[in-house]
Amino acid sequence: MHLTREEEKIYDGELGWAYQVSMRILVKLGDLYGADNLIPIESAHISGVSYKTIGDAAIDFLEALAGSDVKTSVTATTNPAGIDYENAIFTSLSGDIIKKQKRIINLYAKMGIKASLTCTPYYIKAPRCGAHLSWAESSAVVYANSMIGAWTNREGGPSALASALIGKTPNYGLHKPENRQAAVLVKVEAELRDESDYGALGIYLGKILKDKIPLIQGLPSNEEGCLKQMGAAMATSGMVSMFHVGRNDMRLMREMETINVEDRNLCEAREGLSISPEKPDLIFIGCPHCSLNELKQIAEAIKGKKVRNDVKLWVCTSRFIRNKAKEYVDVVESSGGQVICDTCAVVTWLRDLNVKTLMTNSAKTAYYAPSLNGVKVVFSPLTECINVACQK
């Protein structure tokens, strides 16, 4: 991979150990995937923030990096942590967990990385169409590529952090226009009624597509929240980093492999996501983190109702969105729910918070929660989640 003279200086350690390690991570990645050079990026989004998921070894690495006084070269944001420090719910966690999670957040901040603590950085500031990024959250990657038209590979936490410090990323994969074309035609013949059906569709497609880019036809709606759920789910059960919707290029379509999605396929996907007939301890909405419009929908659905005393209702969003949505937050919280920021049910300690069974409208959460959190899951649309939370 070709490096400029300035990049070679960084690689050789002339700007210090931390920048050298970062450059070597990027060069190794570029060599592995056949990149010809490094290209500038507009922003980086870094995963590996929750202490639950990264543990002590990663803290030691971050301590070493931050201790060398490195700073980011571009705007950089962070994925959710494991705790909302402004919500009393999390004070029941052990003091060691609370302390170490705060340390991780502070170490990123010391390097100039914004403590956005959300999986939806595009709601804070959307990247430009055509901008090159280095993003590490799978749901944000598929959203940026498919719905904004930005260009990013599905980075890991270390490579996104390296890119944030260097300001560049290897030029391969979805940074090249020839790799952004659809390879599979998906014809949706199943009935899609709500956002959870889109999530189930995403789970089904992710397993089949692996990392192939689909052209999806037959969706009844291109509503942003539905497409967000579908994309997040495809990136969860597979490695899909981009999709196209509704384009009509007859020549390409004749040449592509075709997948037909029927009602029975969606039914099977839904059944695989609901593994418990039990009453939930927690109703969880907000994976990926809720938009302003989604908070409005939730507030409208719950207005005038009361959450039962024997169940918790969490609505997760970024602190940026929460601050813009005071009237909707007030409705949810006056009904007995909690609007939680900086974390989500996937990356916090649910069992330590006395959650054994979770109900959610997020296919991503339903897919991950049993293995990552050791809880049982009920997968249902938003309307049913609210009904169960409030039924007498």
333 and 302, same structural domain? yes
- pLDDT, tens digit, for every residue of 132-171? 999 999 999 999 999 999 999 999 999 999 999 999 999 9
Query: Where among 272, 306, 335 does a domain terminate?
Result: 272
d(CA 232, CA 238): 10
pLDDT > 80? residue 259 = yes
192 and 155, same structural domain? no
Query: Where among 246, 272, 298 does a domain terminate?
Result: 272
Q: What is the average per-residue pLDDT within 29-50?
A: 97
286 and 171, same structural domain? no
Domain total of the chain: 3
State the Rg of the chain over Cα: 21
Give the model's pLDDT for residue 275. 85
Strand blocks (E) in the chain: 38-40, 43-46, 75-78, 133-135, 168-170, 184-188, 214-217, 244-245, 257-261, 282-290, 312-317, 338-341, 357-360, 376-379
Phi, psi of 246 (to 5 degrees): 75, 5
Which residue range forms the structural domain that includes residue 197?
Answer: 181-272
164 and 54, same structural domain? yes
Q: What is the average per-residue pLDDT within 254-283?
A: 92
Indicate which CATH number applies to the domain containing 169.
3.30.499
Query: Where among 127, 142, 175 does a domain terminate?
Result: 175
What is the model's pTM? 0.96
278 and 268, same structural domain? no
138 and 101, same structural domain? yes
pLDDT > 90? residue 276 = no
Q: pLDDT category, 296, cuts 50, 70, 90?
A: very high
Q: What is the average per-residue pLDDT within 328-346?
A: 98
